[in-house]
Amino acid sequence: MKYAGVLAHFTGDLSMPLHTTRDYDGKKGADGAWVQRGIHARIDAFPERHGLSSKEISQHLEPTQLEDVWAEVLHCIEESHKRVGRCYELDAQGTMERPTAESRAFILECCRCGAQFTLDL
């Protein structure tokens, strides 16, 4: 159970796009000042705060046989990183604190990626 918990923690972290960038809790604006400070906490807290259930996250997921685990790790990191810009866009719109169908679907997609990767491993 201990190792399963550690594994799930890391695969969940991998699916959080801001964990793949140096701008994990704000970024510098054009004037050099920090903007969107606190974004990390708003996104990390979203699933629990806005009612994403484990049942919803895991619904219809099926395990996949991984031929090359390390290649899949790198692929998952790259896919997660592609979502960094969208995190900042949705947060700037205020939808991480006042969810819309769009922000909820985005966070659900991120969570489902982490759950799928955990299941595959």
Map residue 8 onto helix, strand or coil.
Answer: helix
Under a CB-based contact definition with an 8 Å cutoff, are residues 42 and 93 in contact? no
Tell me the pLDDT tens digit for each residue of 103-112: 999 999 999 9
Q: Mean pLDDT throughout 67-80?
A: 96
Q: In the structure, what pLDDT confidence band is assigned to residue 23 with cuts at 50, 70 and 90?
A: confident
Q: Mean pLDDT throughout 79-103?
A: 97
Give the list of residues 6+ apart from residue 15 with CB closer than 8 angstroms, or none.
76, 80, 110, 111, 113, 114, 115, 117
Residue keyed to tokens 């990191």: 77
Q: Spell out the domain ranges in the chain.
A: 2-120
- Both tokens of residue 48? 């629990």
Tell me the pLDDT tens digit for each residue of 25-54: 999 889 989 999 999 999 999 999 999 999
